[in-house]
Structures are given as structure tokens and as C-alpha cells.
Structure 1
Amino acid sequence: MGWGSKVSMLGYFPDSFGNMGQAPQILKQAGIDTAVFGRGVKPTGFNNMVSESEDYESPYSEMIWQSPDGSTVLGILFANWYSNGNEIPVLREEAREFWKQRIANAEKYAATPHLLMMNGCDHQPVQTDLSGAITVAQELFPDYEFIHSDFDQYIQQVKQSLPNDLKVINGELRSQHTDGWGTLVNTASARIYLKQLNQIGQTMLEKVAEPLASFAYLAGEKYPHHLFSYAWKTLMQNHPHDSICGCSVDEVHREMVTRFEKSRHVAEMIIDDSMAAITNQINTNTYRKYGDDAIPFTVFNTSGWKRTGVVTIDLDLERQYYSKGVNKAELLNIPLDGRVLVDETGNHYPFELKDLSIQFGYDLPDDQFRQPYMARKVRLTFEAIDIPGLGHKTYAFVKESMSETKSSHSLFNHDREIENDFLLINVADNGSLTVKDKKSGKVFKNLCIYEDSGDIGNEYMYRQPDGENSLTTENVLADIRIIEDSPLQAVLEIVHQWELPSGASDELDTEQSQLVWFTSRKSQRAAETTPFTIKTIVKLEKHGKGIDVTTSFDNQVTDHRLRVLFPTEIETSCHYADSIFEAAKRDNLPSKEWKNPSNCQHQQAFVSVHNEQAGLTIANKGLNEYEVIRDGKNTIAITILRAVRELGDWGYFPTPEAQCLGEQTVHFKIIPHGDDAYTEAYQFQIPWGVKQTNLHDGKLPLTHTCVEWSGSKLAFSSMKTAEKTGDVMIRWYNLSNEHEDLRILPHFTAAKKYKSNVLEQEGINLENSISVNPYEIVTVGLKKKENFFS
């Protein structure tokens, strides 16, 4: 956006640490046909220095950038960086030398006579004598025309002069043709706590709050656009590259935590209000046959796919408001036995019940002062089976004379072996897991061994000390015990008592303060050690196709990186990582120019190594860095902590809080499979929704889905309501290189279905299906009718 009202239709990526492969498709759907960017193609060093190479992806700074679906835009690389025209001299001799060098540098890469000079950037004050400097330049170099211009005019001129031999650059721009020391990829693991907060915040808004608010909207409620606007804008204030990447000073990141919390609390309020509005519209009177003290509650699945899993809900057996008097003894004497869990057809479900005693709570009515109460609460845990995607199912906790339906079946074969219909898990003395995928027959060994190494790098880049051998828990005996054995799930606790070097040697302080470049540092890890306890919770659900793992530790060690390892032993030359609207295919081996011993990469929801016979996918919550190690085993390594002491880059900026000291908890899921397991991985990030209600009439059925859809090669992305039109917008993307038919069946009355785009504009009318091109991002709009439900 310029200073006036005109919008510059340009994809602007000046300082991103790599670029997503679907960017051209996103831009084209938004009516943008040109992108400018600062990294990802030519070998660009850490301090933005372009190096020479015979293997440039493009000989020019101009190229065609193509997404996997075939969408293309004109791509323009800031080959001499996005501030190559800063501080233009006005004095003639200085200006002469300045322009001789700058013009030569630009002409070296430009495909046209139009040379781009960027005056000003995010680190630079406005140059107040720029007009005079341009006048001097024109006088010194009369063979060139110096134009104080803007991107629109510049790109228009470039397009008229492009040669016919522009290279096509496909997919992600990740600077692979480099020595590997300047990719800035390890910002994915700097301050992991920020990535976790961001994953929670984004997921709560996009995958939970927006679908639920749309469900409520379809049931007649207003869609809270103003609240979403606030929550998203507050979250996005944390998304500048040096912010979300965790590579700034401590004060910046402290403020980010506050923003994440503010955004998340708004999302939580939207979620709770939406679930309350929906449950108020569900006809729960079916459960009156069990008595007026039946307690109905609804389980919501916003993941987009049918889902089965263990769900927990805290129920109020009875509330007593202070305004009417509270009798705590009476609440405590409410009997907990004699109740069963049922669905609308009368099916009984095994459950686990925990007495939560009496607890304080309060209502915040729209038309009254706060209403405090005491409630007798219980925690109910059970298996929700086949909850429809984008839908709900309502159960009831009721009194019934028949005995409770309980199963005595355990998932434990013995204290170190767990089994269900899909997986067989054995735990070794060192706490590692041997997992058999019963469908494919593939056995994975030594999963979940922890690896620790020194890190004398910075927030941008990991650097292991020269000659250091990483430490692992392979030979560390673990304390293993059962902490839950029920028909619903089996849970083990694995504890490692480890000793790690306390930090880097004192030499690192000297090297950093004297600006010794991180690749040249000689520091080692200190000789003294610090106790380091890792607690791992391993959970397998009754019908779980993956293993949920929660790892926690109190980090009191500095200057190190902690990872968890998953040897796949799968023969393949490539792997797949969840990215933006795609599962990006990446080579296991870097390019021939790569010198960095580490080859870490970015991920969103998962990384997967598989071939036609077997696969292993590791899903995560906010763990954005992984590596497929070049060890002959195609081991997946997930970074769960990186602790460093400085920002890095162009000076010395200590960042003690980047050491991430204190209690840390991370979550990931191990998913063995025969083909792909992406649905399971996507669902892992999305929490269930649960809401207690009461007995009442309503127009919604006890089990319902808002939109039924099919398309096995498609991934569900989002469901929201457009602010301008009030239309419900649903988005998918094709994960495959094949066409797929998307069939859509709304379970409400819509005036029209139409194909849309990322801007939610109305396109061609649709019937009940649409053909989705390979790797296409497809958005469908459902136009509002006054009465949605028929």
C-alpha cells in the first residue's frame, strides 16, 4: 500500500528466510502476477552476500517462479539485497565510486536494462537529500537514466524487456545451492516456546474458532467478525520475520508472549460462546427418558475429517448459585455411582470417572452482574467414535438401573508392551520404543532416543563445536512405570536421569564479544556437568493409529540443542514435510555445494519418510525444525530445544532468555503407516471441543455435520464466514499430482455454491462436485439463505 489510496499488486518478500512453494498460486488467485524476494535462489551468504557459483538456479535476478500446480509469477530476486540503493552520496567523487560499483553489481544479474536500486529499508532512516543525489548521479552518468520510481512503474518496464531465456524455478525457494551456513533455517528452533504459542493461537483461531463460529452462524447466530479481526491482527503482530523466528532481543519476545495470550483468550471466548450457541439449538429432549437429571454434552470435531479418539470433559453434576444459597455438604453428598454414558441410540460407552469434588465457578451474563456458584464436578473420559467432520455428536451422562458398561480389557500385554488393533509397542531398558505397524508389518526400532549437542551458534544458525560427539540416551537406563491402564488407553512414564555439560566454555563469551564469526569459533562445551531429567509420557489409545508423546524437562543447561530421534530404516531418497497448502517433497541429501554438517529444514504439522511399502510420520505441535539425518537410516530428528546466548548477524547482542531456561514441555506423535498418514497428523494439532448443556428443544439433531465432503487426495484447510458477503467459505488443497473430484453436500439450505479464491470472491457456479487440479488450492463459497436448515 502506498501513501495514497492505490494498492500495489505485488508479492513482497524482502527478508524472508526461504519462501513457500505455493506462493505463486496464492498470488495468482489474489490477482498478483509478480513477486520480489531477497533469498532462496542464488547462493546468498549469512550477511546477504551473493557468492559465485556455476550452478545458479537462475543466471538472472529475473525468473519465472512456478508453484506445484503450475501457477507462475514473474519473480525478481534482490540479488544485491533489498537496500542496495541506501545512502546515495551527493558529493560528486563519492557518488562516482558509489554508482560505478552499484551499477556493475546490478548489471551482473539483471536480465533487462532496468536496474533496481532500493533506497531505504527497515533499518534505515529516510534519506532527505535523495533528489539532489539523483541529480548528481544523472550528471555523472549521462548514459543512464535515473528515475525516482515505484514498483508498479519499474515492473511495467521490466516486463516489456524480458528475454526469452528466463529460467523456471519450481516450488520452494530455500537456498539449497549454498554452503549451508547462511540459510537461517535454525530460526525454526530459536525460542521454541514462541513457536508453540503461535501454533496454539493459529490452530485455535483457524481450526476451531472459525469453524465453530460458522456452525453457530448457520444456526442463526451472528458471526463475530470484530473479535476475529482483533484476535488475528494481534496474532499477526508477532509474525514479522525477526519476531516469529525468535531472532531478536529479549524485550521483543517478552512482548510477543503477551500478544499471543491476548489473541488466544479472545479465540477461547469465541469458541466457548459458539459451542454454547450451538448446544442451545440441539434438541436434547431425547434424553428426558432417563430422567430430568440427565446431563447431556456435545463433542465437536472441527478437523474436517471423521474422527475417533479419547475425549475428556469436566461435568457439573449440580450447581448452587450464591444468590440462592450454597450448601457445600449437600453438594459433596451427591452420589457418583449409578450413572452410565449413552448416545441417542441407547448405546453405552465405557468411561473413566474422576471425582473433582466441589469447585468455584461463575457466569458472566450479557444482562446481569457476574453470577458466582459452587458446583460438584466430575471428570469423564471416554472414547468418542466416528464423530463427523465439521460436526458434532451429543451424549448424555444419565442414571439407569442397569449396571455400568465397563470393559476389563487392557491394552498392556505386560508392563513393557502395549497393543491395539493397529500397533504393537515394546519399551526397552533405555526407554526407546520398538513399534510394529500391524498393517504393513514394518517394525521401527530405537524410536524416541534423545540426542544432545553443544551449540556455539546464535538465534539464526546452529553450530556444533568442532570435533564434538553428540550425547544420546541410547546407553542411559530409564525408569519406566505404568501410570494409566484402562480399556480406553495405555499410558507409560519413562524417566531419564541424565548428565549434560553445563554450557559452553568461557571462550565462547570472548569469541562472541570480539565478533568472531560463528563458523570460525573454537569454543567447546564445559567439563562440568548438570543433572538433566527428561520425563516422557507415551500414550496409545484403544483405536489410536499413532502414539502420543509428551516430553518435559527443566532446562538448566546452556548453549545446547536437544532432539528426539526416529530411525526409519526406509529406503528412499526423499521425504515430505507439511508446508503452506502442500506436503513439500524434499531430497534427503542437500546439493553438492552444501558444506554445513547440519541439514535442518522447516515443517508445519509433520514430516514423513515413506515408500510404497511403509512409512513413518512424526506430527508435532509447534516444533518447526527437523532433519532427515544422513546416517544411512534416514533418521528423522525433531528439535525440541535450542538454547543460545546471542542474536548473531552483524554485531554482538546478548540474549540470555534465548537459553530457554526452566520448565519445558513438547508434544509430538509417532504415526507408522503403510501409505500416508497426513489426516492423522493434521488432526493431532486440533483439540476436541466439548460443551455441557441441558435438556431442551432445538432445531439441530443430536448428531450432525454442517458439510459432508469427499476427496481422498484433498486436505481440509478452513471453514469461515466472509465479512463482506456473509457467505460460508470452505477451503481444501490437493496433496497429490493427480486430479481429484471434490464432492460437497451441505446439510443446510444454501442459495448457491460457487468456486472462489483466496480473496473469497465469487466465481463460477457449482453443483455438488468440482474437479480439483493437481496441487490446487480450492475455495468454495456457500451463499446465505435466510433459513439455513431445511
Structure 2
Amino acid sequence: MENRVQTRRKAHIISHTHWDREWYLPYEKHHVRLIRLMDTLLDTLKRDDEYRSFFLDGQTIILEDYLQVRPERREELEQRIKENRIFIGPWYILQDAFLTSSEANLRNLLIGHQDAARYGTISKVGYFPDTFGNIGQAPQIMRQAGIGNAVFGRGVKPTGFNNTVADSEFESSYSELIWEGPDGSRVLGILFANWYSNGNEVPTDEAAAKEYWDRKLADAEKYASTNQLLYMNGCDHQPIQTDLPEAMRVARKLYPDTDFVHSNFADYLAALGGDELPAHLSVVKGELRSQRTDGWGTLVNTASARVYLKQMNQHGQTLLEKVAEPLAAIAHGLGRGEQGKGQGQEATLGSYSYPHHLFTYAWKTLMQNHPHDSICGCSVDEVHREMVTRFEKSKHVAESIVDESKQLVADAVDTSGFARFGEEALPLIAFNTTGWKRGGTISIVADVRRIYYREGLSPEEMISRLKALDLGGRVLVDAEGAAVPVKVEDLGVQFGYDLPDDAFRQAYWARQVRLTFAASDVPALGWKTYAWVKSASAASAAAPEAASIVRGERTLDNGTLRVEVADDGTLTVTDLASGHAYRDLLVYEDTGDIGNEYMYKQPEGEEALTTRGLAAEIRVACDEVYRATIEIVHRWAVPASADALFEEEKQYAVYFPERKAQRVAETVPLTIRTLVSLEKDGKGVAVRASFNNQAKDHRVRALFPTDLQASVHRADAIFEVAVRDNEPAAEWQNPSNAQHQQAFVDVSEADLSRGLTIANKGLNEYEVLRDGRNTIAVTLLRSVAELGDWGVFPTPEAQCLGDHEVELMIIPHEGDGAVSGAYAEAYQFQVPWTSAQTGAHQGQLAPVGAAYAWEGEGLAFSSLKINEKDGGAMLRWFNLRQQPAELKLAAPNASVYRSDVLENRGEALALGADGSLSLPIGPCEIVTIGVEATK
């Protein structure tokens, strides 16, 4: 290659195994093989000094999994790591980046670094060997973590069936390239142009070695920009090649012009430095998603395989990062001079310590579901059954943290003002743990009265007294005493118990009510106090009459949005400020799917079935002052399955793009019950659809025509609102052009004058259709029958038979969605309200307050947690736009410093005279600020 610097050729052989923790075998069967592999590795390193080192796949969880069974070998393992013969980190697991949240990606990196640091060394390699596409912000994340490289296998070169690589035009001239993120951060990219197994199973026989190396040296030189050639000696679950030193001696004998070294990433990357690399490597920008390929090997449809897993993951991630962490951080701040104290009130010493250990455990348990073969839903059924249990375990830990921390904060809020309503006042705290001011419908279950067993009454007497309790003459008021319209549901007498820290469990019976109302203007990262009260003065506080949102049998109108339902259940949503109407929204579509867990394949020549024109049953299901709901029922029928040819094609592993199967004529019912809701002050239309899936081999989507003129659209990705083309590249052949999303997808006019955002909860796949209407199609269900990839692995549970429920929100907006608040609305849609009951008492926190107040046009708030190193609060934002922004943060009585994704202390930041911070934020920048109370 003419641009290669003419130095002596060196073949860097890096031994490794790519350890899919679970995939075509259940976890424990892979686990048994891992124990055998690690035993062999340690034995080989002890026996053979020429076997220099081994790269442990960039994930520290392998150490945990091994030592769980082999604790007696810990000392030996630690010694080999300290000797740099086993390289570990920087991740906890090798995650699928697009299907795990922004913060989950960072927790993975942070916890991986923490685990590796305990062994005294961290491999600073941006290792993405088999991620199903790579996120655009990876260069910035790597740079903030002190990593200047990214080693990856997918995204800029065709990778197809069984991970075969093909020759084609692709974005980089070499296997070495410059990868640039949207903020301008750059890292050296190393593409596994011949995959991460190009140095696997090196022969020791001279004749075989000659044939092997003639081919391998030519393959590597074809793409390498220097004479430093990389060979990965390993593959998926690859056993240790114990005779590698002998194989290298044979290679050196055969090729005296080549230096064969048993290398490692640090040495290989160092060898690339200096004058080795060409001056003008190709610069590849943003997301790496194999867009310049035929589209059949992108593995993108793992975003819709086993949708129930994605929904559980979204709930678990959100509960940890958007509820438990901020509430625990606020509770931790009690007594430490945090924001939000009432006027003239002094902080008292708090005893709550941020539970880092519990968070680490909850995150690790959740992240055990984040490897690409796990969260992608592309493993055998046993794997995904175990994932459900892990999701539940992580959720239970998060819920325990939430319950404790929210009560601590609630009990610190000054509710003494409600004493004027009498002793029976029930103060309630509504928590907004998102980064923006919030309003919306909230339901709180409250105990009107409890009677404990310790009081000595019989259960019959306790229940009788509680049943006799009069619930009449009560109203809900806010902290100012103003009445708030509320729906009261008597839940009757319920059993409950306390678990004190200093006593045996305390059982009780309680009379409970559910109070549902519209909370308004709850501060970001803050709280607002209400009370359900009964007293003589409460009569004057009766809630004023409020207008209904319902306008006739099929129309909702809250003064901001109007929703009209047609005979076939489609919606017309009108933005009343602009008068612009979006029509034909919420058509359901059903097509066959003869693909697999990795990729969708519609039968050739099939016409999609839709609910367009199908008469729907329509009725008003809820008409309250805070929210109104219209129920839409479609009684539909779809083909029962694919035909007999499909069974034959699966049995003989026919490559899915080449399959000819069709669907059968027999149909089964598909009844979809949709609840379309509009809240009193809502800026979006909530959609909740439920159905029982009885069909196999098909896909169900919801369609939202935008009728907006745009050649690009925007999708929420990892610390980025990614801008993507509506039309695929010229090389694209796949009729489907599905994409990944996190919280939303948005189509806006080219001048950003208006747009339509469709938000979701755990529905990670969408497509902007090339139908002349720029329709947003969101996948609700994909039913498939096999794993796919390299063999025959039936997965009957991937058909996802049974009950399903999905949630979306339709958000019309004027102007840029990042500025208008549409994207903030979409982020808030994923985050549940949190509430707590407390007593009437004095407290150090104001009735309405917030932990931190900030503003910044076009910025998205990402997280609030506590730094384990110094106990300070860590706050993170990212710039939604490719233009500069400014962050303003109120931080009185505090010191502030710039941090990074690993929560390291950086430069001190100066505050203004009023205790506020003004900080310029670059385009698409991720910024983390540390805040420490000074008194």
C-alpha cells in the first residue's frame, strides 16, 4: 500500500476470547465453559512464560463470574493482572449501546473502572468488538474517560451472516481511521476489518502455517495503513490456544521479514503512534450504523425482538437513574446545606448516607441484562426467562431506595402550615425527579388512619372502627391553602406493616383512599406539598368548578390541543396555537415476519394489513377535570402464522433474505384496546394500547403520518438527538429502513417551524416511511420463531404470545423541539411521578422547593447522583443541539467543579456574587458538574 510507512512489518497477536455471557446456550452452560477457560488460562500463564498475556474481553464481570465458582484462585488471578499478563476493563459488561440508556452506558464504564481499579490496573481501550452499531457520542465519552481510541467491529464495513465480512466501498480507506463525535471529539478508530478472529487458531504445522499466514498477512495488509498488523487470536467463547508460542516460532521461521509478537492493545496502539500513521486518515463522523451497506446485516431489528424486555429495561433504568438516584441524593443532602430550605430555616444534621453499595448492586444486576445478545432479545428462550428475574431483582432494590429516601425527604418538608385545617389533615408530597418543571396527573394512595396491632385491639375491632370512619367533608389543598380538584376513591380497609430499624415488624390495618389530581408547576428536581384536609375552614376552600376536557362523544380539548377520533379510530390532533392539524394518526399495521430475532423480513409481495377503514368501537372512558380519556376498540383478525415452507426454511437455515415463505389464509383475532388521554394542562396526547397476541410470525406497528416536508428526522440516542436521513444510502437494498430510538423520534419541517414528536416507553424501534407523508412507524410487537445467525436455534417464546401493553405520546410542537419543550416533554413522559405521605410538622425544607435550580436553552438534564469519591453531588446535562448553549446553575453556599463521565474532580468553577454559575456549553457537549456544600 503506497501510503504505508516502510518500516519492518510487525504482526501483533493479541490473545482474547469474546465472551458472550449468555446467547445460544443458557447463562450457566456458558458459565461452566468460562470456568474451564479461565482455569486453562491461569495454568498456561503459570506454566509458559512465552505465553505473554491475555485480553479479558474488556469486561470485568468475567472476574466476578469466575471467582464466584473459583474463589480459591483469587490471589493467583490478582497476581497475573498486576503483572500485566491479564488485561481487564474498562467496562463492566459489553453492552448494546443503542438499547441501553445514556446513563446506563456511563454506569457501565464507571463501574468497570471501579472494579478494575481494585486490581491495580485498567485497560484503557475503547472496546466495542461486537456492538450492533456504535453510538455517535462514543468519541466524547471515551475522551472524557481518558481513552483516546475505539476498537470496534461494526458500523463502517459490511458484516453479514455468521459475522462474515465482505469487500465493499466503505467510509474509511484503512482499518485505522479518525472517529469524530458530534461535539468534535476525536479518537483513533481501529476497525476489525477482518473481524476479531483474524488471528484465531494459528497452526503449528509448517505447511498449514504457510498457507495460513500467506492469506492472513495479505488480508491484514489490504486494509492496514501501517506495517503494524493486528491479529486477534480468539473468537466467541474461544478456548485458549495453549500452543500459541510454538505457532509463533513456526511463523518466525517461515517469515524472517516479519516480527511476530505476542502483543497487547497498549503496545499495539503505542506502535501505531509517532510517524507510523498516515497524515490524512479518513475521518468518520457520528453514529456507525452500517448505513452504506445493503441493509441486511445491520442487526437493527434486535430493537424490536422481545419488546417486553425493552419495556422492562426502560422501566428499570428510569427507576434507578431518574427516580432513585436523585431522591437519594436529595436525602443525602439533608443536613449538608443543600438547596431548597425554607426562608430562615437552618439545616439539621441528617443521618442518611447515599447507598452507593446498593446502587452498584442494582446497576450491576440490571446491566447483566445489557450485553448485546441479552437486551437485544437474540438468545435462546432460557436466557430471556432469567433476564426477567434480573429485571425484577434490580427493580426491587431501586424501589427500596426510593421508599426510604422519599420518606426521609417528605418528613423533612415543613408541613406545619396545614395544622390550621385540624388534626386530621393528611399532608402529601409530590416529587418531580425530572430536570424540568412539571405538571400532570398524579395518584397518591394515602392512609387516612392506621390502627396497629400493638394497640391491643382485636383484628375485628380494628377493622370495624376503620370501616366506620367518616371520609366526608374533605378537600385537597395546596401549600397556600387553595383547593385543588381531586377524585377520591375509597380503597377500604387494607392490611399493612412497618419494618423499623430498631424493632420487630409492626403490623396494622388502615383505611385507605386514592387521591387523583392535577399537580401543577412542581419544580425540577423538587417537590410540592398538598394536604387532604377536613375542618370547618375547609368548607370555604371547596374546589372551583372546572371545565370538562370532553367536547362531545369523540373530541377532547384542553385549550392547547384538540383530539378528534374518526370512525376507524384514527386521530386528528390539532395544535391550537398554530391551528396546524395532524391527520390519520394511530393506524395499526400488521405484516408477516419470516426473519429472526436479529432481522425483520416481510414475505415477498405481501400487502400490509391496516386498521384504516376498519370500524372501531369508540366511547368516553374518563371525564375528569384533570384528565379525559376516549377508549377505541379495534376487533381485527390477522393471519395465524407463516406457512409450511417457513418451517422448512428454518430447519435448513435458509438465509433470511432469500426465504420465499408466505402467511397462511387462516386468521386469529387481534383485538386492540386503545386509551387516548389528554390532561388538563397536557402538551401531548397519551396513547395506551393493549392486546392479546395469538398470531405468530408477524409484526405490529403504530403509524403516525406527519405530512411535513423534511429530508431528515431526529431521534433520541445516547446523549444526542441524532439527525438521520429519511432516504437510505444508494447501497441500501433492504425494503425496511428501521432505526433505533430511546425516548422519541421527531419529524420537523426543514426550517424547524413545526414538528411532530412521538415519544415512547421501551419501544426502541421506529421507521420514517418513504410513503410521501413522512410517516413515523413505531414497532409495538415482533413475533419470530428462531434465533438466527450461525445455526438452527428455535425460540418459540420469541413469538411473544399473550397479553401486551404499550405506551406512546403524540407531541405536536412549534419551532425546534429542543427549545419548544417538546423533547423535554418526551423525556418526562418516561419518568413516573413519585409521592409520599407525611405528617403535619415543622421541617427544614420549604413546602415547595427544589434541590437545584438551573436553566439553559437547548440543554437536557440527565442525572443527579452522589460522587462516591468526595460525597459531592454530580449533575449532568447534554446539549441537544449542534450550536453553543449556556448553563446557569444556582449553587449558593457551595463550591463547584467541572467533572467528567468518571466523576473525577476537574477545574474549580467560579460562582457569581449571587452564588450562581454561568457556564458555556459547546455543541452536543456532555457536561458534568460537581457541587459540594460549604456550610
Query: Quick one: percent identity of the two aligned structures?
Result: 57
Match of 1:708, as an amino acid?
A
Q: In structure 2, what is the equivalent of residue 548 of structure 1? A: 686
Secondary structure at 1:47 match in 2: helix
Would the aligned equivalents of 1:504 and 1:523 in 2 still touch at CA under 8 Å?
yes
By how many angstroms is 1:45 displaced?
2.3
**Cα distance in 2 between the residues matched to 1:441 and 1:405:** 32
Q: 1:177 aligns with which of 292, 311, 318?
A: 292
Secondary structure at 2:184 match in 1: coil
Match of 1:167, as an amino acid?
S
Match of 2:626, as an amino acid?
L
By how many angstroms is 1:367 displaced?
1.4
Match of 2:859, as an amino acid?
L
Name whichever of 336-345 and 245-254 sits farther off: 336-345
Q: 1:520 aligns with which of 640, 658, 666?
A: 658
Would the aligned equivalents of 2:209 and 2:251 in 1 still touch at CA under 8 Å?
yes
Deviations 1:733-763 (A, max 9, x none): 01112211111103x632x111111111111
Q: In structure 2, what is the equivalent of residue 537 of structure 1? A: 675
**Cα distance in 2 between the residues matched to 1:270 and 1:509:** 48
By how many angstroms is 1:686 displaced?
0.5
**Cα distance in 2 between the residues matched to 1:594 and 1:344:** 59
**Cα distance in 2 between the residues matched to 1:537 and 1:101:** 61
**Cα distance in 2 between the residues matched to 1:618 and 1:272:** 31
Secondary structure at 1:180 match in 2: coil
Secondary structure at 1:115 match in 2: strand
TM-score (norm 2): 0.83
Q: In structure 2, what is the equivalent of residue 562 of structure 1? A: 700
Q: In structure 1, what is the equivalent of residue 447 of structure 2? A: 316
By how many angstroms is 1:97 displaced?
1.1
Deviations 1:684-732 (A, max 9, x none): 0001110000112211111111110010110000000011110100000
Q: In structure 1, what is the equivalent of residue 848 of structure 2? A: 703
1:89 aligns with 2:203: yes
Would the aligned equivalents of 2:590 and 2:699 in 1 still touch at CA under 8 Å?
yes
Would the aligned equivalents of 2:161 and 2:790 in 1 still touch at CA under 8 Å?
no
By how many angstroms is 1:100 displaced?
1.2
1:238 aligns with 2:369: yes
Q: 2:412 aligns with which of 281, 284, 292?
A: 281
Q: In structure 2, what is the equivalent of residue 271 of structure 1? A: 402
Match of 1:734, as an amino acid?
N
Would the aligned equivalents of 1:549 and 1:668 in 2 still touch at CA under 8 Å?
yes
By how many angstroms is 1:406 displaced?
4.3
1:23 aligns with 2:158: no
Would the aligned equivalents of 1:338 and 1:403 in 2 still touch at CA under 8 Å?
no
Q: In structure 2, what is the equivalent of residue 99 of structure 1? A: 213
Would the aligned equivalents of 1:309 and 1:385 in 2 still touch at CA under 8 Å?
yes
Secondary structure at 1:118 match in 2: strand
Q: In structure 2, what is the equivalent of residue 331 of structure 1? A: 466
**Cα distance in 1 between the residues matched to 2:135 and 2:382:** 29
Match of 2:785, as an amino acid?
R
Would the aligned equivalents of 1:321 and 1:374 in 2 still touch at CA under 8 Å?
yes
Q: In structure 1, what is the equivalent of residue 252 of structure 2? A: 138
Q: In structure 2, what is the equivalent of residue 365 of structure 1? A: 500
Would the aligned equivalents of 1:439 and 1:673 in 2 still touch at CA under 8 Å?
no
Q: In structure 2, what is the equivalent of residue 352 of structure 1? A: 487
Name whichever of 194-203 and 1-10 sits farther off: 1-10
Match of 1:706, as an amino acid?
A
Q: In structure 2, what is the equivalent of residue 259 of structure 1? A: 390
Secondary structure at 2:637 match in 1: strand
Name whichever of 434-443 and 561-570 sits farther off: 434-443
Q: In structure 2, what is the equivalent of residue 225 of structure 1? A: 356
Q: In structure 1, what is the equivalent of residue 759 of structure 2? A: 619
Q: 2:900 aligns with which of 757, 775, 781?
A: 757
Query: Aligned runs of 1:633-672 on 2, under 5 Å?
Result: 633-672=773-812
Match of 2:922, as an amino acid?
N
**Cα distance in 1 between the residues matched to 2:210 and 2:874:** 56
**Cα distance in 2 between the residues matched to 1:229 and 1:681:** 28
**Cα distance in 1 between the residues matched to 2:163 and 2:772:** 33
Would the aligned equivalents of 1:338 and 1:404 in 2 still touch at CA under 8 Å?
no
Would the aligned equivalents of 1:295 and 1:398 in 2 still touch at CA under 8 Å?
yes
**Cα distance in 1 between the residues matched to 2:579 and 2:546:** 28
Query: Aligned runs of 1:93-242 on 2, under 5 Å?
Result: 93-160=207-274, 161-219=276-334, 220=350, 221-242=352-373
Would the aligned equivalents of 2:482 and 2:541 in 1 still touch at CA under 8 Å?
no
Secondary structure at 1:507 match in 2: helix
Deviations 1:258-292 (A, max 9, x none): 11100001001101100111111111111101111
**Cα distance in 2 between the residues matched to 1:375 and 1:60:** 70
Would the aligned equivalents of 1:89 and 1:133 in 2 still touch at CA under 8 Å?
yes
Over 6 Å off, 4+ runs: none
Match of 2:185, as an amino acid?
S
Match of 1:619, as an amino acid?
A
1:48 aligns with 2:163: yes
Secondary structure at 2:232 match in 1: coil
Q: 2:882 aligns with which of 733, 737, 746?
A: 737
**Cα distance in 1 between the residues matched to 2:592 and 2:854:** 49
Alignment coverage as a number of residue pairs? 783
Query: Aligned runs of 1:671-682 on 2, under 5 Å?
Result: 671-675=811-815, 676=817, 677-682=822-827
Match of 1:64, as an amino acid?
I
By how many angstroms is 1:403 displaced?
6.4
Would the aligned equivalents of 1:190 and 1:245 in 2 still touch at CA under 8 Å?
yes
Secondary structure at 1:616 match in 2: strand
**Cα distance in 1 between the residues matched to 2:882 and 2:540:** 55
By how many angstroms is 1:89 displaced?
1.0
Would the aligned equivalents of 1:565 and 1:635 in 2 still touch at CA under 8 Å?
yes
TM-score (norm 1): 0.98
Match of 1:774, as an amino acid?
P
Q: In structure 2, what is the equivalent of residue 481 of structure 1? A: 619
Q: In structure 1, what is the equivalent of residue 574 of structure 2? A: 436
**Cα distance in 2 between the residues matched to 1:82 and 1:576:** 32
Would the aligned equivalents of 1:46 and 1:181 in 2 still touch at CA under 8 Å?
no
Would the aligned equivalents of 2:683 and 2:811 in 1 still touch at CA under 8 Å?
yes
Name whichever of 773-782 and 611-620 sits farther off: 611-620
Name whichever of 396-405 and 147-156 sits farther off: 396-405
Q: In structure 2, what is the equivalent of residue 467 of structure 1? A: 605
Q: In structure 2, what is the equivalent of residue 397 of structure 1? A: 532
By how many angstroms is 1:196 displaced?
0.6
Match of 2:523, as an amino acid?
P
Q: In structure 1, what is the equivalent of residue 519 of structure 2? A: 384
Match of 1:81, as an amino acid?
W
Q: 1:374 aligns with which of 505, 509, 525?
A: 509
Would the aligned equivalents of 1:46 and 1:183 in 2 still touch at CA under 8 Å?
no
Name whichever of 500-509 and 404-413 sits farther off: 404-413
1:609 aligns with 2:738: no
**Cα distance in 1 between the residues matched to 2:290 and 2:579:** 38
Match of 1:352, as an amino acid?
K
**Cα distance in 2 between the residues matched to 1:344 and 1:646:** 57
Q: In structure 1, what is the equivalent of residue 66 of structure 2? A: none
What value does the CA root-mean-square deviation take over the aligned residues? 1.1
By how many angstroms is 1:137 displaced?
1.2
Deviations 1:203-230 (A, max 9, x none): 0000010000000011132111111011
Match of 2:228, as an amino acid?
H
Secondary structure at 1:412 match in 2: coil
Would the aligned equivalents of 1:738 and 1:774 in 2 still touch at CA under 8 Å?
yes
Deviations 1:42-75 (A, max 9, x none): 2322433333334x21110110000111100000
